[in-house]
Amino acid sequence: MASVPFTLLTAFSSSINGGNPAAVVFIDLNVPTSTFAGIARNLNQPMTSFLSKTPLPSKDEKVAAFGIRWYTPSGHEPPLCGHASLAAAQAVFERPDLVSGTVETIELHTLTHRIVTARKVEGGLIEIQLPAGEVEEVVGEAKVNISEIVAKAFGRTVSINYVGKGTKGFDHCLLVELDEKEKLGMCDVDAAALRNGGFAVNIITAASSTGNEIFVSRMFAPGILPGDEDHVCGSAHCLMVPYWYKKQGIPRGQEARAKQVSQRGGDLKVVWEAERDIVRLMGVTTVLGKGELYLS
């Protein structure tokens, strides 16, 4: 019976009970899509990264390139996943049979021709570079409708400072800023109510009052993710980082901290490089297990 290696990790936390878990499977990316969906369903992790079994050609000995695809347990294939990219990079660095000690950068080549780059940085962290996104404000009746949907999800009227929708490839994303007095991490949220908003990804964020980070957030994708909430969503920070840098007047290129306040929680270091149109996310990864996955 054929088998492929896999690694199970959690991203953006040093605790096995924190961060966002992801499975990383090294496999022939030319197999039928039903194979990816079936494996992701069996592994039942928030996201499964599928990496090419061997590196793609690279002209730089310090760079190792791999093809990548992502699948949720429901069989949905997103165009981008930050936390599973972080996990994938760590899984590659853990494979000396695939990459030599001279490799400093991992390139993850996606189906949309985007390249997610990852590298080791100081403090045992992995850094990934993702495309920066933009939000445009939602006003008028549309804002009223979304505010009502958010109130239903929270079971009460909440103080909303801003409602925006993503652009530049993030059109499926909604960003809502709550007032920090709402204590986002302590809120019970009925994510199913957010389905009526028309967005696959629903990002709720607020300024942080702890002094440890600039902002906190939660992300909900009802019907797509297990439990409807993402523990730590890397790609949501493609929108949040530029948004908060602008709002807080943080100098571009300066490092800041962010925290996802889901039940598992996660910590990120972030940088917005506006000139390069990218967001840099840094976090720790923790290996939960490794093994062989048997294929029929």
Per-residue pLDDT of 168-181, as tens digits, reads: 889 999 999 999 99
Q: Residue 229 — pLDDT band, cuts 50, 70, 90?
A: very high
Q: Give the residue among 284, 231, 272, 250 at the shortest CA–CA distance from 89.
A: 284
Q: Percent of the chain scored above 70 by pLDDT? A: 99
Pairing assessment for the beta strands 256-260 and 266-273 based on DSSP bridges:
antiparallel
The rounded distance, in Å, linking the Cα atoms of 33 and 198 is 26
Query: Which sign does the torsion angle of CA 248, 86, 217, 222 carry?
Result: positive
Rg (CA), the chain: 19
pLDDT in tens, 26-43: 999 999 999 999 999 999
Q: Residue 58 — pLDDT band, cuts 50, 70, 90?
A: confident
Q: What's the whole-model pTM score?
A: 0.91
Above 90 in pLDDT, residue 257? Answer: yes
Above 70 in pLDDT, residue 1? Answer: no
CB 85 within 8 Å of CB 67: no
Average pLDDT over residues 86-99: 94
* Length of the chain (residues): 296
CB 58 within 8 Å of CB 49: no
List, in order of start, the domains of the chain with CATH numbers.
3-129+283-294 (3.10.310.10), 134-276 (3.10.310.10)
Q: What is the pLDDT of residue 230?
A: 94
Q: Give the residue among 8, 19, 9, 14 at the shortest CA–CA distance from 260.
A: 19
The rounded distance, in Å, linking the Cα atoms of 206 and 204 is 7
| Mean of all residue pLDDT scores within the chain | 94
Give the ranges where 62-202 is alpha helix by DSSP (H). 82-93, 140-154
pLDDT in tens, 260-281: 999 999 999 999 999 999 999 9
Above 80 in pLDDT, residue 120? Answer: yes
Q: Percent of the chain scored above 90 by pLDDT? A: 88
Question: Among 55-59, 188-192, 211-215, whose mean pLDDT is lowest?
Answer: 55-59
Average pLDDT over residues 135-142: 97
Q: For the chain, list the strands marked E by DSSP.
A: 3-11, 20-27, 48-52, 63-71, 105-109, 115-121, 125-131, 134-137, 160-167, 173-178, 201-207, 215-220, 229-230, 256-260, 266-273, 278-283, 285-294
